[in-house]
C-alpha cells in the first residue's frame, strides 16, 4: 500500500506529478493516456452519453493527499473548479493521519424504489394485500433484473405506507410501496427503475388501484455511510491560536450550523466541496448525492449540520458525519468515462461501500478545513494565497517564479493578471 503522504507534490510540475502517480499506482500507459489525452472523454463517447452534444467540458482534476481511512492509504482524485478545496482537504487529512486516521463505515447498501398507487377503494385492505403478496412482488422484481441476483444482490424487503388518508382531495390519497434492493456495487438507478416498472402491473392487479410513478428514491437512507475522527488539540494549533482555541472554535461553529439553517447551508456546502469532486471524478451522479445529503440534513425536522463536532473527556476534538451515499463503481459513467475508471484505480477502490466511506471521510475533512480557517484567520488568507498563485501563472510565471510573483501580488495588494504580467517581465530582466 503506497503512502498517500507525498511531500512536495504541491511544488511539482504536472508532468512530475503524473509520473509519480504512474509509478506509485502501477498505472498502465493506456490509463495514463486517458489523463494526458485532450479531451479525455472522446467526442464519440460523449455523443453517445447525452443528447445534442457539441463538445466536452473539462474541470481541473487534483489529488487529495494524506488520507488514511480504516488504516488504508488513499490518494483521492477530486474534480473541482474551486481553489483551496484540494489543499484544505489534504491539510486536514495530514492532521488526522497523525491522530490515527479516519474510521469509516458503510453498514447497509440498499437502494429504494417507489411505486405510487392511487384510487384504491380501501387503502388499508390494499396495503395488507400487497404485504400478503410480498414474496410474489419481490420475486417478480428480481425476475426483471436477474443479473443482480446472480451477482448476489436483489430485492431484500418491501413495505407500504398510506399517505394523506384523510385528505379531501383524492389526488392526495395514495399508497406508496417501497422495494429495498441490494444493488451490490452499482448505484442502481436503472436497476431500480426497471424493477419498479416491471412490478407495477402486478401492484395494480393486487390493489385494484392505478399506479402512476415508479422510480428510484434519491433519499438513500438505507445506504448510509459514516466517518469519524478524533484529534488531540495540539495537532490543531495554528499561528497564534492554541489547539484548544481551534477545537473550541470548531465546536462553536458546528453549534451555529446545528441551530441556524442560514449557516447550515453554507456549512454543508463546504462539506459538499469535498464530496462532489470525488463523486464527479468517479463518474457518479452528484445531483443524486447532493439531493440525498441535504434531505438527510433535515431529517430531524429542521435543516441542520451534516457533521457533528464535540470534545471527548480527554479534550480531543471529535468529528462525525453520516450521509446517504448512493454511489457505485460499476454501471453508469463509472466505466464509460476514462477518468472515472482511472480515479477508481488510483484509489484502489474495491467496492461501492469502500468508495462511500472514502467520500464521507473527505467531506468530514473538508468541513474541518473550513471551520478551522473560519474560526481562526478567516478563509480569505488561504484563498488569496492560492488565488495569487493562479494569477501569477496566468500572468506567465512558471517554476520557482510562481511563489515569488504570488507573494509580490499579495504584498502589493493587487491580485490581477495585468499586474502579474508586469511583475513577470520585471523578474525576467
The residues assigned a catalytic role are: 82, 269, 285, 383
Q: Which is nearer to ligand MEV, 188 or 369 (CB)?
A: 369
Q: What is the DSSP letter of 171?
A: T
What's the closest the beta carbon of residue 323 comes to ligand MEV, in angstroms?
A: 16
- With CB under 6 A as the contact rule, the residue among 98, 193, 266, 390 that binds ligand MEV is 266
What's the closest the beta carbon of residue 113 comes to ligand MEV, in angstroms?
A: 34
For ligand MEV, which stretch binds (CB under 6 A), given 101-109, 146-154, 222-230, 267-275? Answer: 267-275
For ligand MEV, which stretch binds (CB under 6 A), given 101-109, 263-271, 351-359, 394-402? Answer: 263-271
Q: Order of strands across the sheet with 307-311?
A: 103-105, 224-231, 317-324, 307-311
Beta-carbon contacts of residue 134 (< 8 Å; ≥ 6 apart):
158
As a whole number of angstroms, the distance between CA 28 and CA 70 comes to 27
What's the closest the beta carbon of residue 371 comes to ligand MEV, in angstroms?
A: 6
Q: Please give the residue whose beta carbon sits closest to ligand MEV in the complex.
A: 270
CA distances from 236 to 6, 258, 306, 376 (A): 21, 22, 21, 11
For ligand MEV, which stretch binds (CB under 6 A), given 133-141, 154-162, 230-238, 262-270? Answer: 262-270
As a whole number of angstroms, the distance between CA 34 and CA 18 comes to 12
- How many residues of this chain interact with ligand MEV, rule: CB under 6 A? 9
Binding mask 19-58 for ligand MEV (x = CB under 6 A): ----------------------------------------
Alpha-carbon Rg for the chain in angstroms: 25
What's the closest the beta carbon of residue 429 comes to ligand MEV, in angstroms?
A: 38
What's the closest the beta carbon of residue 273 comes to ligand MEV, in angstroms?
A: 5
What's the closest the beta carbon of residue 379 comes to ligand MEV, in angstroms?
A: 5
Q: Does 269 bind ligand MEV (CB under 6 A)?
A: yes
Residue 359's SS3 state is helix
For ligand MEV, which stretch binds (CB under 6 A), given 269-277, 280-288, 334-342, 391-399? Answer: 269-277
Beta-carbon contacts of residue 158 (< 8 Å; ≥ 6 apart):
130, 131, 134, 137, 138, 177, 178, 179, 180
- With CB under 6 A as the contact rule, the residue among 109, 267, 294, 337 that binds ligand MEV is 267
The CA-CA-CA angle for residues 45, 47, 49, to 5°, reads 70
- With CB under 6 A as the contact rule, the residue among 273, 305, 343, 376 that binds ligand MEV is 273
Q: Order of strands across the sheet with 110-118?
A: 154-163, 174-182, 110-118, 210-217
CA distances from 333 to 34, 59, 393 (A): 15, 16, 33
Tell the burial category of 38 from Cβ atoms under 10 Å away from its Cβ (0-12, 13-18, 19+): exposed
Q: What is the DSSP letter of 38?
A: S
Q: Which is nearer to ligand MEV, 155 or 273 (CB)?
A: 273
As a whole number of angstroms, the distance between CA 30 and CA 37 comes to 10
- With CB under 6 A as the contact rule, the residue among 379, 401, 404, 417 that binds ligand MEV is 379
What's the closest the beta carbon of residue 388 comes to ligand MEV, in angstroms?
A: 18
> Cell 468517479 sits at which residue?
282
- With CB under 6 A as the contact rule, the residue among 141, 189, 370, 424 that binds ligand MEV is 370
- With CB under 6 A as the contact rule, the residue among 154, 270, 324, 395 that binds ligand MEV is 270
Q: Does 294 bind ligand MEV (CB under 6 A)?
A: no
Q: Does 88 bind ligand MEV (CB under 6 A)?
A: no
- Spell 348-364 as b/e; 16+ CB within 10 A means b: ebeebbbbbbbbbbbbb
What's the closest the beta carbon of residue 140 comes to ligand MEV, in angstroms?
A: 46
Q: Which is nearer to ligand MEV, 81 or 313 (CB)?
A: 81
- DSSP of 81-147, one letter per residue? S-TTHHHHHHHHHHHHHHTT-BEEE----EEEEEEEEE--S-HHHHHHHHHHTHHHHHHHHHHHSHH
**Residues found near ligand MEV in the complex (CB under 6 A):** 82, 266-267, 269-270, 273, 370, 374, 379
Amino acid at each position: 500500500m503506497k503512502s498517500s503522504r507525498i511531500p512536495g507534490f504541491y511544488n511539482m510540475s504536472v508532468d512530475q506529478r503524473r509520473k509519480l502517480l504512474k509509478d506509485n499506482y502501477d498505472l498502465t500507459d493506456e490509463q495514463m493516456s486517458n489523463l494526458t489525452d485532450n479531451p479525455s472523454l472522446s467526442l464519440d463517447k460523449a455523443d453517445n452519453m447525452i443528447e445534442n452534444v457539441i463538445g466536452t467540458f473539462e474541470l481541473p482534476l487534483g489529488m487529495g493527499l494524506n488520507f488514511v481511512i480504516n488504516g488504508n492509504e488513499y490518494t483521492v482524485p477530486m474534480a473541482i473548479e474551486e481553489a483551496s478545496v484540494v489543499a484544505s482537504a489534504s491539510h486536514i487529512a495530514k492532521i488526522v493521519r497523525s491522530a490515527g486516521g479516519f474510521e469509516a463505515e458503510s453498514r447497509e447498501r440498499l437502494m429504494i424504489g417507489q411505486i405510487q398507487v392511487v384510487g384504491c377503494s380501501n387503502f388499508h385492505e390494499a396495503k395488507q394485500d400487497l404485504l400478503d403478496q410480498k414474496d410474489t412482488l419481490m420475486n417478480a422484481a428480481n425476475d426483471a433484473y436477474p443479473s443482480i441476483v446472480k451477482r448476489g444482490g436483489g430485492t431484500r424487503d418491501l413495505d407500504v405506507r398510506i399517505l394523506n388518508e384523510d385528505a379531501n382531495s383524492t389526488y392526495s390519497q395514495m399508497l406508496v410501496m417501497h422495494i429495498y434492493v441490494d444493488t451490490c456495487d452499482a448505484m442502481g438507478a436503472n436497476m431500480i427503475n426497471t424493477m419498479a416498472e416491471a412490478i407495477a402491473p402486478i401492484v395494480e392487479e393486487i390493489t385494484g388501484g392505478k399506479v402512476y410513478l415508479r422510480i428510484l428514491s434519491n433519499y438513500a437512507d438505507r445506504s448510509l455511510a459514516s466517518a469519524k475522527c478524533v484529534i488531540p488539540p495540539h495537532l490543531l494549533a495554528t499561528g497564534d491560536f492554541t489547539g484548544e482555541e481551534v477545537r473550541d472554535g470548531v465546536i462553536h461553529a458546528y453549534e451555529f450550523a446545528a441551530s441556524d439553517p442560514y449557516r447550515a447551508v453554507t456549512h454543508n456546502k463546504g462539506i459538499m466541496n469535498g464530496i462532489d469532486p470525488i463523486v464527479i471524478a468517479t463518474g457518479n451522479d452528484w445531483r443524486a448525492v447532493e439531493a440525498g445529503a441535504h434531505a438527510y440534513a433535515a431529517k430531524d425536522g429542521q435543516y441542520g449540520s451534516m457533521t457533528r463536532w464535540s470534545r471527548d473527556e480527554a479534550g480531543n476534538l471529535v468529528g462525525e458525519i453520516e450521509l446517504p451515499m448512493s454511489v457505485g463503481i460499476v454501471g453508469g459513467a463509472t466505466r464509460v468515462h476514462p477518468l472515472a475508471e482511472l480515479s477508481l484505480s488510483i484509489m484502489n477502490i474495491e467496492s461501492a461501500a469502500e468508495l462511500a466511506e472514502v467520500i464521507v471521510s473527505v467531506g468530514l475533512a473538508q468541513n474541518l478545513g473550513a471551520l478551522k480557517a473560519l474560526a481562526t484567520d478567516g478563509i480569505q488568507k488561504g484563498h488569496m494565497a492560492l488565488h495569487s498563485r493562479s494569477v501569477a501563472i496566468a500572468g506567465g510565471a512558471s517554476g520557482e517564479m510562481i511563489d515569488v510573483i504570488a507573494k509580490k501580488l499579495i504584498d502589493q495588494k493587487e491580485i490581477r493578471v495585468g499586474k502579474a504580467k508586469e511583475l513577470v517581465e520585471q523578474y525576467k530582466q
